A and B are shown apart, each in its own frame.
Chain A
């Protein structure tokens, strides 16, 4: 199986840098790229009855928005540049989910950006980089 590099992507500037970095890395080592976007979600939060009822519709919207606003633009850019890449869109705890993806797909490295504007990326920073550093099964690169 071809070696692959996972990029934790959230649409922020830093995660764009991470993609650029990973593209060069992939070219050099002839590895495949996986652009992974994780929607922060926990099965243990508490919801009101109305939120429960609307959850399925919200989830459909969230997935659609994640595609159109986050993943599609970067995938289009990559394909325009002639870079082959796959995308992953999942719900879950960000670091844990990235680790799961790395475990599943015979990944040789995880790359994430260091800072971003969105709330999501702030989250990515507090704990994701730290958790990855502690628990990732493969080397992790943090790109400023």
Chain B
């Protein structure tokens, strides 16, 4: 026993010593391999409409959100009060106490999407597209609510329930079962494609990118050190949670993350109040910038592009990930999860992203020409000049720190925790796609989880540009496949919606409080 322990210790020491070198060479190899074999895919997903700089994938998401908004008669506004009532538990049967509440479903799905997109992504949008980008971001967030509504309703409706009481759901299942029900072809092919993209997205954007950014944040605060150390620590924690079932870490994170989110919004509010006299001006900038660009690169189209893009990156509406998260909730009415989920883009984009943007604008981070009121561009002409030349997370951090110096540390902790909770969420999404492809089973699940942890280390250790590009592309490829399925199945959601609303009217679906 003692001997084997010593051997294991020695082995891990050797591993720890050779790992950085290994990671480095692996990183290089992976880089070349990916760049050569997947470059076409990345450039395809992010390629612009001919003659513009507008990526077609962003148009695809926005058009879909618009179609769903119109098709369901502005459901995101009509059903908004009902969604709030559901989350408050007004329609929860006391007999079901002890089951997952709508609030819990919402909070868990949110902790998967609230993260770097809200902090760094918005700073990028405002830094390049100017205040006007905020307007388009809010608009995209409002439209995205309809996409979430559609996908989450379908996710619950077509999930698999197993005898032991567990469930598996998500786009893969509505693609196969829903298409079969409507007599449509190719459901299975779409499902397999979606599952593959989802696994790749989980390893990439939902894992390596997060690990990478978390390391960058920590290194930023404590000074530079090798990324594999962060990677190993993160991997060990993720392993303990997803393989060891160590509830305590997960539940601590799940408690701290919403707290961080609330703290972030409250701090933003306080900063806005401190500059209360400038709030009117800031909104003026947002509206004016939305239609004129106020001198940003690409004019108002540049602002629009940035706003739409960052909203889509942040709230994941139409990607299909939320459909996986929500289908785990036990409910008699699939529609209730659709209603609850439409609050996510609202909270994520319309509230939190807007707060970030307002703080950046109102604290005067962006440099404008006092004569013309137009924003000045940096030397390359690619982005607006900022007071300290910051961009990304650093810009958000500078904006918040201009009011409260200590906030940069809070922000660093928040970024790390958000990254961690996003990883936990994506490990689940990836796992569901994995079991869809390979079948349910303890060993099969373990294989996925171990690979997932290995990718944490790789992600933190190296700057894997091409891999990150690829995994971003994979997440958006999920949206390509998913939205095709949503178009095909939206009549089913409409039927469900009409039935639900009439039963709500006739009090068949009743309030309990």
Contacts and interface: CB of A to CB of B under 8 A. Distances in A.
Residue from the set B97, B98, B111, B325 with the largest chain A CB neighbour count within 10 Å: B98
Interface in B85-113: 89, 92, 97-101, 103-105, 107-108, 111-112
Interface in B295-320: none
Given A45-B104, A49-B428, A50-B242, A91 B98 contact: yes
B164 A46 contact: no
B241 A62 contact: no
B247 interface: yes
A44 B100 contact: no
Contacts of B166: 53-54, 56-57
Contacts of A53: 166-167, 328, 428
A53 B99 CA distance: 10
B98 A46 contact: no
A55 B330 contact: yes
Given A51-B247, A56-B330, A41 B97 contact: yes
B424 A48 contact: yes
Majority secondary structure, B binding face: helix
Majority secondary structure, A binding face: helix
A54 B425 CA distance: 15
B258 interface: yes
Interface residues on A, range: 20 to 34
A47 interface: yes
Interface residues of B, number: 36
A134 interface: no
Interface string B221-259: 000000000000000000001100001001100110110
Given A39-B98, A59-B99, A46 B255 contact: yes
Given A43-B89, A45-B104, A50 B255 contact: no
A44 B111 contact: no
A44 B107 CA distance: 9
B329 interface: yes
B425 A49 contact: yes
Contacts of B107: 46-47
Contacts of A51: 247, 250
A58 to B, nearest CB: 9
Contact of B98 (A49, A54, A59): A59
Contacts of B254: 46-48
A89 to B, nearest CB: 10
Contacts of A62: 98
A52 interface: yes
Interface string B110-137: 0110000000000000000000000000
A52 B250 contact: no
A88 to B, nearest CB: 12
A101 to B, nearest CB: 11
A48 B421 CA distance: 9
A20 B310 CA distance: 65
A50 B241 CA distance: 10
Interface in B316-355: 324-325, 328-330
Interface of B: 89, 92, 97-101, 103-105, 107-108, 111-112, 164-167, 241-242, 247, 250-251, 254-255, 257-258, 324-325, 328-330, 424-425, 428-429
29 contacts: A39-B98, A43-B103, A44-B103, A45-B104, A46-B104, A46-B107, A46-B254, A46-B255, A46-B258, A47-B104, A47-B107, A47-B108, A47-B254, A48-B108, A48-B241, A48-B250, A48-B428, A49-B112, A49-B325, A49-B328, A49-B429, A51-B247, A52-B104, A52-B105, A52-B329, A53-B328, A56-B167, A60-B165, A91-B98
Interface of A: 39, 41, 43-57, 59-60, 62-63, 90-92
